[in-house]
Amino acid sequence: MKKYMEEALKEAQIAASEGEVPVGAVIEKEGRIIGRGHNRTEQDSDPTAHAEMIAIRQAAAHVGWARLTGCNMYVTLEPCAMCAGAIVWARIESLHIGAMDPKAGACGSVMNIVENEDLNHRVNVTRGLMEEECSRVLKDFFAERRNAAKEKKANNIIEGID
């Protein structure tokens, strides 16, 4: 399991290098990665371009069907409601989450779509896989963003631009 989360972390790093919120996801089936993605919402001007959605689209294209039975997803941050719904619709077997998202998570934090007994499919969920590493990528990204904003403001003050 760890090797797949490491691949998801690589995707998160790509997102960070592109100025995107660093979330990465991979989908594995029978020991092979068949889908991978990282956030691209800003680049694509697309609110649905989350890491999970991109990985699901790629995996579905790979298998040639909308159902990803027997597939396992590894994602660095707890999926939102949109992504959790897509995970259920795709019939992904198991979901391995790095860091939880107490503000928007839909796999146990704010709500729990993937394990909702009222739905026709439930996903097996593992939480906290490489949690520290997954959290660190996000914390570092947002700290760097805050520092850049402070520097810009300070430079504007010095130059007389307010």
Q: What is the pLDDT of residues 43-69, one digit of tens each?
A: 999 999 999 999 999 999 999 999 999
Task: Tell me what pLDDT residue 147 has.
Answer: 81
User: How confident is residue 97, by pLDDT bands cut at 50, 70 and 90?
Assistant: very high
Q: Which range, of 33-47, 120-134, 148-162, averages the lowest pLDDT? A: 148-162
CA neighbours closer than 13 Å in the CB half-sphere of residue 69: 3
93 an active-site residue? no
Give the CA count within 13 Å in the CB-facing half-sphere of 127. Answer: 13
- Give me the chain's average pLDDT, please: 94
User: Which residue among 11, 20, 28, 52 is the active-site one?
Assistant: 52
Report the alpha-carbon distance of residue 79 to residue 7 in Å, rounded: 17
- Helical residues (DSSP H) of the chain, grouped into ranges: 2-17, 41-44, 51-63, 81-89, 131-158
